[in-house]
């Protein structure tokens, strides 16, 4: 890609990330994004086709970033349980280093009335299933190896993913329930422990 074009696209993506942060897509204008990026409004249409196209490109960048963190967790040298604990740690790192990306993927806004919004919503659903399938596979291997009792891997993966999202969201509460990174790390580990070992005393 032409370096100048790449710089413009990167500037627009950075501006979009900052502008969309904490706001509904429909409440953001192309004029705001272009002004923040320091380019003409036409650049958005030239490079991304529309505001929806720019937002979709930003979501894809967030998905790629999330996938990179998860790749660090699901390595062949780890056993199933080790992969689950590593996945919790990497997911937290993803949030701490890219909070806007995390919020965009974990708590997306309403798709709106246009087809592009619904297509993007479905893309996010597929991405969640793709990521959770790695956790499901780790759980299945744990059951097959006799390390885990006979559980429903898909159900447990959904419980873990949803629990991690909920716990990490404590990091942006405005009140005394807010939790700092070290506390979030311990909470995620405890949640994973509870799912992995259960609550009943042995």
Q: Considering only 6-10, 19-23, 62-66, 75-79, which range has the smallest mean pLDDT?
A: 19-23
What is the arithmetic mean of pLDDT over 20-26? Answer: 81
Which pTM was predicted?
0.88
Using the Cα atoms of residue 8, residue 9, residue 12 and residue 13 in order, give the sign of their dihedral. Answer: negative
Distance between CA atoms of 100 and 88, rounded to whole angstroms?
18
Q: Model confidence over 119-178: pLDDT tens digits? A: 888 989 999 899 999 999 999 999 999 888 888 999 999 999 999 999 999 999 999 999
- The phi and psi torsions of 6 (rounded to 5 degrees) equal -60, -40
All domains of the chain in start order, with CATH: 1-49 (1.10.10.60), 51-197 (1.10.357.10)
Distance between CA atoms of 132 and 84, rounded to whole angstroms?
11
């Amino acid at each position: 890609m032409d370096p100048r074009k790449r710089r413009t696209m990167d500037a627009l993506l950075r501006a979009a990330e900052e502008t969309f942060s904490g706001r509904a897509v429909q409440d953001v204008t192309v004029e705001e994004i272009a002004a923040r990026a320091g380019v003409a409004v036409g650049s958005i249409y030239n490079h991304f086709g529309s505001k929806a196209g720019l937002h979709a490109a930003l979501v894809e960048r967030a998905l790629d970033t999330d996938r990179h963190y998860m790749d660090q967790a699901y390595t062949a040298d780890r056993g199933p349980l080790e992969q689950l604990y590593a996945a919790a740690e990497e997911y937290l790192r993803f949030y701490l280093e890219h909070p806007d990306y995390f919020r965009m993927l974990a708590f997306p806004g309403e798709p709106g009335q246009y087809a592009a919004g619904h297509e993007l919503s479905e893309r996010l659903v597929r991405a969640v299933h793709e990521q959770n399938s790695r956790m499901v596979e780790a759980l299945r291997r744990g059951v097959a190896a006799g390390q885990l009792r006979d559980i429903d891997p898909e159900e447990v993966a959904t419980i873990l993913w949803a629990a991690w999202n909920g716990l990490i969201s404590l990091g942006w509460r405005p009140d005394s329930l807010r939790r700092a990174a070290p506390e979030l790390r311990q909470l995620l580990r405890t949640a994973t422990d509870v799912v992995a070992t259960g609550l009943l005393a042995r």
